[in-house]
Amino acid sequence: MAQEKIRDSRTRDIGSYSFKEFKDMVVKFHGYPAAGVLIGGYMVEAAKERMPEGAQFEVIVETRKCLPDAVQLLTSCTVGNNWMRVVNLGRYALAMYEKYSGQGVRVAIDSERLKEWSHIRAWLLKLLPKHLQDSERLLDEIEKAGDSILSIADVCVRSDHLGKLSMGKIDICPVCREAYPQKDGSICKGCQGDAPYIDSVVANPMMQKCMGEKPV
């Protein structure tokens, strides 16, 4: 499994998009032209190029920051269809792999190659507070560097990360009266106390009744 250093390519397009076109897509979807999504565009395309033709692939992203949106913009893999999953290892990397065998490639930023690109290096290693970053020069470096700052390696995804997510049988929670996976227990996880709300009885009519309040 030899790791390949990606050499300069002739253009700095991102797949079939120019850098400018992709930047506009990023602004529309992500809210602003985030450096991470732009570099991510080159990462996703580097992975796609290495997939066998017609392969049904899925993606694991190793960070929650920015990179998932590059995947969602440039592939059919999304968080909602579960063809993209985040396994948060805090590394700026992704794996794209054939969905049944798990065979694929992992693309990462090669920190050794960032010596020539001081703004990208400062962004990745958070060497400057955000308000001192020179966004224009950072984006300029990203476009110039393209995929030359990436490294790529063959990987095989573990079988416990392959296949469909199944919720199993569905029941109605006797507390909140909402549908939930039976395997979570006799009441749903929200009513077990995992709901992220200050007053979690809000969605919990029976408990509100117990407390003498109006059911909601």
CB of 10 to a second copy, least distance (A): 26
Q: Does 196 bind a second copy (CB under 8 A)?
A: yes
Rg (CA), the chain: 22
Contacting range for a second copy; rule: CB under 8 A; set: 12-20, 43-51, 109-117, 135-143:
109-117
Site for a second copy in 166-185 (CB under 8 A): 167, 169-170, 172-173, 176-181, 184
The C-alpha angle with vertex 147 and arms to 20 and 78, in degrees rounded to 5, equals: 70
Q: Does 46 bind a second copy (CB under 8 A)?
A: no
Size of site (CB under 8 A) for a second copy: 80
* Cβ within 8 Å of residue 66, ≥6 positions away: 30, 34, 35, 36, 37, 40
Both tokens of residue 162?
Answer: 């392959």
Q: Does 37 bind a second copy (CB under 8 A)?
A: yes
Secondary structure of residue 94 in the 3-state scheme: strand
Cβ-contact 84, 91 below 8 angstroms: no
Both tokens of residue 166?
Answer: 């199944």
Q: Does 146 bind a second copy (CB under 8 A)?
A: no
Q: Does 56 bind a second copy (CB under 8 A)?
A: no
Q: Does 153 bind a second copy (CB under 8 A)?
A: yes
Q: Binder to a second copy among 21, 49, 125, 140 (CB under 8 A)?
A: 125
Helix (H) or strand (E) holding 38: helix 35-49
Half-sphere exposure of 39 (CA within 13 A, CB side): 29
Of 133, 152, 41, which is closest to residue 95 (Cα–Cα)? 152
Cβ-contact 99, 56 below 8 angstroms: yes
CB closer to a second copy, 146 vs 175: 175
Of 37, 162, 142, 149, which is closest to residue 95 (Cα–Cα)? 162
CB closer to a second copy, 11 vs 168: 168
CB of 172 to a second copy, least distance (A): 6
Q: Does 188 bind a second copy (CB under 8 A)?
A: yes
CB closer to a second copy, 11 vs 32: 32
Q: Does 72 bind a second copy (CB under 8 A)?
A: yes
Q: Does 106 bind a second copy (CB under 8 A)?
A: yes
CB of 112 to a second copy, least distance (A): 7
Q: Binder to a second copy among 52, 165, 211, 212 (CB under 8 A)?
A: 165
